[in-house]
Amino acid sequence: MPTDRNADNYESVLTGASKDVASFEGEEKGFVGRLQEMLHATPSLVPLIVLVAAIIIFGIALGSKFFSPFALTLILQQVQIVGVLAAAQSLVILTAGIDLSVGALAVLSSVIMGQFTFRYGIPPAVSVMLGLTIGTAIGAISGWLVSRVKLPPFIVTLGMWQILLAANYLYSRNETIRSQDIETEAAFLQLLGVKFQAGGATFTLGVLLMVGLVAALAYALRSTAWGRHVYAVGDDPEAAELAGVNVHRTLMSVYMLVGFICALTGWVMIGRFGSVSPAVSTGMMGNIQSITAVVIGGISLFGGRGSIVGAFFGALIVGVFELGLRMAGANPQWTWLLIGALIIGAVSLDQWIRKVSQ
Amino acid sequence: MTTEPILSGRGLIKRFGKVTALDSCDFDLMPGEILAVIGDNGAGKSVMIKTLSGALQPDGGQVYVEGKPVNFQSPIDAREAGIETVYQTLAMSPALSIADNMFMGREIRKPGLVGQWFRKLDRPAMETFAREKLSELGLLTIQNINQAVETLSGGQRQGVAVARAAAFGSKVIILDEPTAALGVKESRKVLELILDVRSRGIPIILISHNMPHVFEVADRIHIHRLGRRLCVVDPKDYTMSDAVAFMTGAKEPPSEAVPA
């Protein structure tokens, strides 16, 4: 045992060692390494490449039938519901959560907007506002259970999914509000279904809303303190808290915003379907469809990684596959087989990209 | 010493169930010094540091900053009082950039309309500031301030964490085991950073198990044992084996070093 501190001189040899400890430049990694780093920095690149490749392949195979303004904008119309839901799902998944109730909340919100108008005679614009408010409030309940009661998001939203779906049938008394009735008495409810043409391309207000929403969220996530906090909370909540982020407030804001966007999806649904029905498939499938889009879009289910633009591309990829394979006359099961392969591929890629840090 | 301690605690008590982690513990940090805190596992060092940094609230006793009593409810309170802590886990978000991490929870917004209405972050200002602070601490070779923290080595991450604390810690910087996870070369770099921070007049509390490091940089050594301050010694007067003996109870502390 050394009795003098100078006797412990093991570090003296370091004077001869290289001093550049804190050098931040990366060594040569070759093409694969650089690709890995590039994907690490821009995670939405992969879904974009897949999307463009799918459009080109279907375009070559099907010709102008597929590669036309009409067909391509039809895809946008077909994915608008899943696209908006995927935007909401992305926010939750970025915080390392998951929301199984997005579809059910969307359907319930559409039912609330419709029934408030037709059962109570509330002006449609006010009904829409109330629907959005209730959606936000339901999001707040989920957020509170996750953030304060510290329940796993999977459990909270699994329960919420069943509750909302049941409430949706109970409240609507399983009645559908017919499209013609809405058209004549409360056309405002169908506002997001309004179509306009631009050189063969057909857009609806719902499509514009989806694109605008994705752009706005992408901006907020990238360029505001709130967005950085969402990523930090998803990455490591304890670290974020110690670094001075209000984790509770961040989680609450995310779940409330998700509730709001789901209610917005309810409004988009009225525009798309024309009618208000408690039995639309979104209630059961909306969660899986949105999670699929998010995963294909390269957002990590472990939180803190990925971009919302990627999730939008993910939704479009599913839309392109569905329409392309249908036009090609293939059995629709091929769509799901390919989507399944894409999901597994996307997650494998995510694992590989994460290794850039090791 | 006649100067007033910049951060001190008197009679701090903290209990967890039946365990008393802090047993009317005293603590003093003088301006401009590096005070090392050593003690066996379970002696209560971390608990004491957490009460000083606001992560825990004491059941009894009082913390003072420059002689004024303070009651920190969270690390954010302590931070506002100018006390920055580098935790053992570093408290960084691996997927975010160096600049994002340095400004986590205190981002700078663009001036004017863009900042006020669109809450746009002032990235260039944040990056310039982060780069300046890293250079000040001799981390000059940074190529890309937007690099994700997870792509850095352990020593570089530690460097960024220390730079973050040094950039914003106006009064005190607390370092919890800063060299525990590092190799010899990287530890050396962090020790240089610590000396560098002191040379700019900011006092440092250094918690460490590494005796050579403690004896190299510390001005005074606070030896913690059984939930309280056993003694404070000058590393010039004692050897590492003495310190270890006091810390483990193998040897009685010198009577003149026992605080009143």
CB of A88 within 8 A of CB of A290? Answer: yes
Choosing among B38, B84, B88, B104, which should be mutated to test the A contact, i.e. which has the most A CBs within 10 A?
A: B104
Question: Which range scores top for mean pLDDT: A110-119, A298-307, B209-218?
Answer: A110-119
Delimit the domains of chain B by residue range: 7-91+168-257
pLDDT band at B150 (very low <50, low <70, confident <90, very high): confident
pLDDT band at B193 (very low <50, low <70, confident <90, very high): confident
Query: What pLDDT does residue A277 have?
Result: 94
Q: Which domains does chain A have, with CATH numbers?
A: 45-353 (1.10.3470)
Q: Kindly state whether B54 is in contact with chain A, defined as any CB-CB distance less than 8 angstroms.
A: no
The whole-number average pLDDT for the span A69-74 is: 91
Q: Which chain A residue's Cα is nearest to B189?
A: A21
Query: For chain B, what is the mean pLDDT?
Result: 85
CB of A68 within 8 A of CB of A272? Answer: no
> Cβ A231–B150 below 8 Å, yes or no?
no
Query: What pLDDT does residue A21 have?
Result: 43
Q: Kindly state whether A218 is in contact with chain B, defined as any CB-CB distance less than 8 angstroms.
A: no
Query: What pLDDT does residue A93 have?
Result: 97
According to CATH, the superfamily of the domain at B7-91+168-257 is P-loop containing nucleotide triphosphate hydrolases (3.40.50.300)
Q: Is the pLDDT of residue A354 over 80?
A: no
> Cβ A228–B141 below 8 Å, yes or no?
no
How many CA atoms, within 13 angstroms, populate the side-chain half-sphere of residue B249? 6
Instruction: Tell me the chain B residues in contact with residue A94 when contact means C-beta distances shorter than 8 Å.
Output: none
Question: What residues 62-81 of chain B have any CB closer than 8 A to a CB of chain A?
Answer: 75-76, 79
Q: Tell me how far CA of residue A146 lies from CA of A103, A142, A294, B8, in angstroms.
A: 19, 6, 21, 38
User: Chain A: nearest CA to B229, how far in angstroms?
Assistant: 23
How many CA atoms, within 13 angstroms, populate the side-chain half-sphere of residue B68? 4
CB of A136 within 8 A of CB of A76? Answer: no
Which ranges constitute the DSSP H helices of chain A? 30-41, 45-62, 69-94, 102-120, 124-147, 153-172, 179-185, 205-223, 225-235, 237-242, 247-273, 282-296, 308-327, 333-354
